[in-house]
Chain A
């Protein structure tokens, strides 16, 4: 027996303080549970510290820098826009600190204790926390696992020095002259777009036949057009072979159509995907079932195959999105409190914060038809939206997917200005069983980007007034 190994009894324990874990902890406390959070790295998890929030801060700064330099047609001539990237990074840090500090404050408000360390399950009611220089066993009544995910490493691209993961790419202290992004998914494309705006020459290497392969081609073509204007080089069907680095640079070797190519750059960012943090925690020993990808099997209440242990967020199936994790966290917390709450949503919004952004919710036309729904689409271009034109951002479109006879909204896809906020109206519409008639009869303010929703609904009704 190790000295001090008397188990300490706890009630509800949440492992991980990311958007799934911290929301679960707060909701559980609101429902009257005594909650303890175990966290090994940082309050707020990947999202607040090295994901959603810092990436959006960098994207915003990059966007403003570009706007400052490229608004001459509006008569704005900024003769010497300069970028102090150290200041940009310092500002980004204040954004992160403010939000993580906010979560810590909420924990205090709800009397949620935080134990710093890594958790290992001993059995279905106890776990051991390995701290910096000690270890302690705790028992729990209920456990919510919210351990998140981490970037996948690929062979011959070991993360170190000039080969970065997304975290490293967000923390560069100077804008690289040349940057190679391996992986053209949404994380890779957001980073590519931000650094291109900041002045880097960016190359994207994507293994499949197009970037942003999760999105429909016509949405992506708008982004591809932006990338070509930013002089971003996109190599598709490109297989990254190896990265060789010295103190100054990194050379990436890759194959396209059987031909070997090399690019030398200041840095290489590898964003080929994320892997669930479900290994080396003893999960399998206590009977928690996982699939081949390491994702934990859960029921509609986020309950694992061990009844008092729940799992949420990136470690369970479904899109790896912060808002999905938070939603699941609330359900798990309420289930532990005896509520019959279940995961029951009809539309999961997703946003890619490139320049312009893509936003989607609900079903695509193909997904709807694959489900044997008699689905049709209606589309309206931002080129006919007065607000978009006045913003000099009249690219992209809003597309609505609806059922032909009932005209109930099933999904929406859009690319263009402010779509990350516009998508919420349509997510609500899907959740509430709204028809395109309802959308068309809802007065949208003029001029606004949101009018494109009303106009797309009018198109769907066969009564367009603005195109």
Chain B
């Protein structure tokens, strides 16, 4: 087991609403946090896959 994905509760909810799997995203926030902008980038198909 590893640590859970680094993302704030509201970011996790945002990902869920947009059917985004957080494990597929590389976080750009502090400590590698996934931030809302990372999800938007991912949705626009601009890469960001790990």
Contact = CB atoms under 8 A, between A and B. Distances in A.
**Same complex:** yes
B9 A340 contact: no
A421 interface: no
A431 B1 contact: no
B31 A403 contact: no
A344 B8 contact: no
Given A403-B3, A406-B3, A408-B3, A433 B16 contact: no
Contact of B16 (A344, A371, A431): A344
A319 to B, nearest CB: 19
Interface in A314-361: 339-342, 344-346
B17 A433 contact: no
Interface string B16-37: 1101000000000001010000
A328 to B, nearest CB: 15
A264 interface: no
A341 B3 contact: no
Contacts of B45: none
Interface in A368-387: 371-373
A339 B6 CA distance: 23
Nearest to A339: B17
Interface residues of B, number: 14
A433 B12 contact: no
Categorize the interface residue count of chain A: 10 to 19
Contacts, number: 35
A431 B7 CA distance: 8
Contact of A341 (B4, B13, B31, B33): B13
A289 interface: no
B10 to A, nearest CB: 10
B35 to A, nearest CB: 11
B19 A340 contact: yes
A430 B32 CA distance: 15
Nearest to B6: A433
A434 to B, nearest CB: 9
Interface string A74-112: 000000000000000000000000000000000000000
Contacts of B1: 371-373
A344 B13 contact: yes
Nearest to A403: B3
Interface in A398-456: 403, 406, 408, 431-433, 435
Contact of A373 (B3, B12, B31): B3
Contacts of B3: 373, 403, 406, 408
Interface of A: 339-342, 344-346, 371-373, 403, 406, 408, 431-433, 435
23 contacts: A340-B16, A340-B17, A340-B19, A341-B16, A344-B9, A344-B12, A344-B13, A345-B9, A346-B4, A371-B1, A372-B1, A373-B1, A373-B3, A403-B3, A408-B3, A408-B6, A408-B31, A431-B8, A431-B9, A433-B8, A433-B31, A433-B33, A435-B31
Interface of B: 1, 3-4, 6-9, 12-13, 16-17, 19, 31, 33
